[in-house]
């Protein structure tokens, strides 16, 4: 028996064929005067990712290209990441898992690391560390510089001529809180200003766990241009901002969120 080879694979006298590179090739065999031909398709399967970092609850489609054969997918740890028969990976819990794509006796793997990014609903950002929001209207930055509570708030307001004993009083069952922010309009605020309501809106707050809304919190008005309701800045301006409110007794934290350009929510948790 005599074999004839092509460049994409190599045939030997014993009939063993070795794949060399991707493509199609024919193996010819001759027995006496009779000629036989066998078409061999050489594949070079490849995953679109061998490593992938995913945010909690996000999805990603793993694909094995370069093959026409049926591909099966499997996760090494379904509690961290699951995968469908079509390769759709869902991040379930923080941790690591290996997703395997298999065609017959050959396997290809992708290591998946699931993280919970800062600013997610389950891992809100800390405003005291400074936060940059790339929103529809423009990009801005803010940092909660200081928090004052209780009698110190009243003393601070008096020193600023923003408290009059004749008509100002602390609502029963509440504690006054004074937030001081550093705020900057980075870009996009040329025609319309960045306002104090863009930084914090006390009518749109959530509880500390970001799971449910809370009742409107009463605020203390001020005449200062730095006060939240009066605050306005345009592109490139950096300015201090004040917010004064009355927290119900026992409340030491709340949260809110900002919409980013991609419609994702950036969650922030305040502690006071």
d(CA 40, CA 37): 10
Q: Which of 92, 87, 94 is nearest to 65 (CA)?
A: 87
Q: Which of 60, 82, 115 lies at the terminal end of a domain, its last residue?
A: 115
Question: Which residue range is the domain that position 151 belongs to?
Answer: 127-271
135 shares a domain with 107:
no
Cβ pair 73, 84 in contact under 8 A: yes
Q: Per-residue pLDDT tens for 58-95?
A: 999 999 999 999 999 999 999 999 999 999 999 999 99
Stretch 145-168: mean pLDDT? 96
Angle at CA of residue 233, ends 232 and 237, nearest 5°: 155
The pLDDT of residue 8 is 52
The pLDDT of residue 258 is 98
- pLDDT greater than 70 at residue 12: no
53 shares a domain with 28:
no
Q: Which of 26, 34, 20, 24 is nearest to 4 (CA)?
A: 26
Q: Which of 62, 58, 57, 59 is nearest to 86 (CA)?
A: 62
Q: Per-residue pLDDT tens for 228-272?
A: 999 999 999 999 999 999 999 999 999 999 999 999 999 999 999
The pLDDT of residue 109 is 98
- pLDDT greater than 60 at residue 193: yes
d(CA 1, CA 29): 7
200 shares a domain with 137:
yes
214 shares a domain with 157:
yes
249 shares a domain with 180:
yes
- pLDDT greater than 70 at residue 2: no
**DSSP code of 43?**
P
**pTM across the whole model:** 0.76
Cβ pair 99, 89 in contact under 8 A: yes
Residue 83, domain CATH: 2.60.40.1080
Side-chain-side CA neighbours of residue 266 (13 Å)? 20
Counting the structural domains of the chain, the total is 3
208 shares a domain with 75:
no
Beta-carbon contacts of residue 97 (< 8 Å; ≥ 6 apart)? 75, 76, 77, 78, 80, 81, 111, 112, 114
Domain contains 120: no
Residue 223, domain CATH: 2.60.40
Q: Per-residue pLDDT tens for 202-234?
A: 999 999 999 999 987 999 999 999 999 999 999
């Amino acid at each position: 028996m005599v074999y004839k080879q092509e460049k994409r694979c190599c045939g030997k006298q014993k009939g063993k064929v070795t794949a060399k590179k991707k493509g199609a090739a024919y193996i010819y065999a001759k027995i006496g005067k009779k000629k036989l031909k066998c078409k061999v398709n050489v594949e070079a399967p490849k995953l679109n990712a061998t490593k992938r970092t995913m945010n909690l609850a996000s999805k990603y489609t793993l694909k094995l290209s370069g093959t026409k054969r049926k591909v099966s997918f499997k996760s090494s740890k379904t509690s961290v990441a699951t995968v469908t028969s079509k390769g759709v990976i869902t991040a379930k819990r923080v941790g690591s898992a290996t997703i395997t794509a298999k065609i017959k006796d050959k396997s290809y793997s992708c290591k998946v690391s699931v993280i919970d990014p800062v600013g997610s609903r389950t891992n809100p950002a800390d405003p005291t560390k400074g936060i940059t929001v790339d929103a529809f209207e423009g990009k801005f930055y803010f940092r909660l510089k200081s928090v004052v509570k209780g009698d110190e708030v009243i003393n601070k307001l008096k020193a600023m001529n923003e408290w009059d004993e004749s008509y100002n009083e602390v609502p029963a069952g509440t504690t006054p809180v004074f937030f001081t922010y550093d705020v900057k309009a980075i870009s996009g605020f040329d025609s319309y200003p960045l306002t104090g309501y863009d930084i914090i809106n006390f009518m749109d707050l959530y509880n500390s766990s970001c799971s449910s809304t809370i009742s409107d919190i009463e605020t203390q008005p001020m005449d200062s241009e730095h006060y939240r309701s009066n605050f306005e800045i345009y592109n490139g301006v950096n300015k201090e901002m004040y917010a004064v409110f009355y927290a119900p007794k026992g409340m030491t934290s709340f949260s809110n969120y900002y919409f980013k350009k991609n419609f994702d929510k950036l969650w922030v948790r305040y502690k006071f």
